[in-house]
Amino acid sequence: MASYSPQCMKPENLAQKLPNLVELYLHSNNIVVVPEAIGSLVKLQFLDLSDNALEIVCPEIGRLRSLRHLRLANNQLKYLPAEVGDLRELQTLDISTNRLITLPERLHMCLSLQYLTADRNHLWCVPRHLCQLPSLNELSMAGNRLAFLPLDLGRSRELQYVYVDNNIHLKGLPSYLYNKVIGCNGCGSPIKVSEVKLLSFSSGQLTVFLPAEVKSIGTETDHVLPLQELAMRILYNTYYRFLKDFNFLTPISLPKSLLELLHCPLGHCHRCSQPMFTIVYPKLCPLRETPMAGLHQGRTTVSFVAYCCSTQCLQTFDLLS
Q: What is the pLDDT of residues 96-125, one digit of tens each?
A: 999 999 999 899 999 999 999 999 999 999
- For residue 157, count other CB atoms closer than 10 A to its CB: 7
Domains defined for the chain, CATH in brackets: 14-183 (3.80.10.10), 200-240 (no CATH)
DSSP, residue by residue, 192-235? -GGGS-S-EEEETTEEEE--TT--EE--TT--S--HHHHHHHHH
Closest by Cα among 30, 28, 21, 34 to 67? 21
Residue 132: phi, psi to the nearest 5? -85, -5
The crossing angle, in degrees rounded to 10, of helices 256-263 and 227-235 is 50
Q: What pLDDT, in 10s, does the model give residues 133-159?
A: 999 999 999 999 999 999 999 999 999
From first to last of its 321 residues, the chain has per-residue pLDDT tens of 455 444 434 555 666 777 789 999 999 999 998 888 889 999 999 999 999 999 999 999 999 999 999 999 999 999 999 999 999 999 999 999 999 999 998 999 999 999 999 999 999 999 999 999 999 999 999 999 999 999 999 999 999 999 999 999 999 999 999 999 999 999 887 655 455 577 888 887 778 889 888 989 998 888 889 999 999 998 888 876 665 666 666 655 677 778 888 888 999 999 999 999 999 999 999 888 888 877 776 667 899 999 999 999 999 999 988
Closest by Cα among 6, 8, 62, 4 to 31? 6
Buried b (16+ CB within 10 A) or exposed e, 235-271: bbeebeeeeeeeeeeeeeebeeebeebbebbbbbbbb
Angle value at C-alpha 155, between 153 and 159, nearest 5 degrees: 75
Torsion of the alpha carbons at 155, 157, 161 and 164, rounded to the nearest 10 = -10
Burial of 161 (0-12, 13-18, 19+ CB in 10 A): middle
Q: In the chain, what's the furthest Cα-to-Cα distance?
A: 71
What pTM was computed for the model?
Answer: 0.89
- For residue 88, count other CB atoms closer than 10 A to its CB: 13
Q: Is 45 helix (H, G, I), strand (E, B) or coil?
A: coil
Query: Which residue type does 223 have?
Result: H
